[in-house]
Amino acid sequence: MTHPDTYILNATSPSRLGTVDVVTRYLREQGCYVADMQTFDDARAGQFFIRAEFRRPQEQAFDEEAFRSGFAGRAADFDMEWRLTDRSRKPNVVILVSKFDHCLNDLLYRYRTGQLAIEIPAIISNHPDLQRLADWHHIPFYHLPVTPETKAEQEAQMWDIIRESEAELVVLARYMQVLSPELCTRLEGWAINIHHSLLPGFKGAMPYHQAYQKGVKLVGATAHYINDDLDEGPIITQGIQPVDHSHYPEDLVAKGRDVECITLARAIQYHIEQRVFMYQGKTVVLGS
């Protein structure tokens, strides 16, 4: 349960003596109570990461701008990059989807029940199939069909909706289109994709049927930030599910979909809780 007056301060800086102290001392001076804190020092890279979840003081007014201004000077002494987030604020999330409904349905359930503290101002799809699901949740649904000839125009429309929705995160909930390099660049660091993860890696059509033929023993999923390398973006989290010889291809598909739902929701949760740091092309996830 999250206290209603909770804020998150997360920061990264070069590894130096006093990096924890500069955060905790300032919070103490402001009368803030630290409810949760995680740190990580990357000894190889010489980079320090910290996430502090704190409650603002109850006996006095909390001036967020004054807090920011005061901490900025302290942080500058440590070459610290930082951000302050009000834990109660729900970010706008735009969801992209095609025909598969399992991830979308799971996210909408978590949204409806409050498990995911987000707002969903728009769902965008290149197919009309999931219109009724969006309508049931009273969420605007945009059907933007795409062909190779209309891809640039369709992505321009998509980008306009994302901007007009004031989205802070874009989620590809099994959106089965490859985004252009231009759109990937625009969305880098704030768009999450989900896809299956099988060992060995089975690509192309019907990967679960290929896995069945090889007697695969694990199915899984990977949630990552998108970039211009297809399914190669910085990984946020992964999930696995054991399987065995008794699982036919249809069973593997079902297991895989379950893992995809859980893994995608977990990645979104980490992102909105400000647990994810991007550094040197990979992620550091604190308190996962």
- Structure tokens that stand for 134 in this block: 């969006």
Query: For residue 58, what pLDDT is reported?
Result: 77
Tell me which CATH code domain 6-86 carries: 3.30.70.260
Query: For residue 36, what pLDDT is reported?
Result: 95
Query: For residue 206, what pLDDT is reported?
Result: 84
Question: Do the two domains 6-86 and 92-272 of this chain adopt the same fold?
Answer: no
Residues tagged active-site: 231
- Structure tokens that stand for 122 in this block: 């728009």
Q: pTM for this one?
A: 0.94
> How far, in Å, CA of 265 to CA of 287, rounded?
16
Tens digits of pLDDT across the chain (288 residues): 556 689 999 999 999 999 999 999 999 999 999 999 999 999 999 999 999 999 988 777 788 999 999 999 999 999 999 999 999 999 999 999 999 999 999 999 999 999 999 999 999 999 999 999 999 999 999 999 999 999 999 999 999 999 999 999 999 999 999 999 999 999 999 999 999 887 677 777 788 888 888 899 999 999 999 988 777 899 999 999 999 999 999 999 999 999 999 999 999 999 999 999 999 889 999 987
Dihedral sign for Cα atoms in the order 82, 88, 89, 94: positive
Q: Tell me the CATH class for 92-272.
A: alpha beta
Query: For residue 61, what pLDDT is reported?
Result: 75
Selection from 163, 159, 88 nearest residue 118 by Cα: 88
Q: How many CB atoms lie within 10 A of CB 285?
A: 19
DSSP state of 77: T
Strand ranges across the sheet with 6-14: 33-42, 47-55, 6-14, 81-86
Instruction: Delimit the domains of the chain by residue range.
Output: 6-86, 92-272
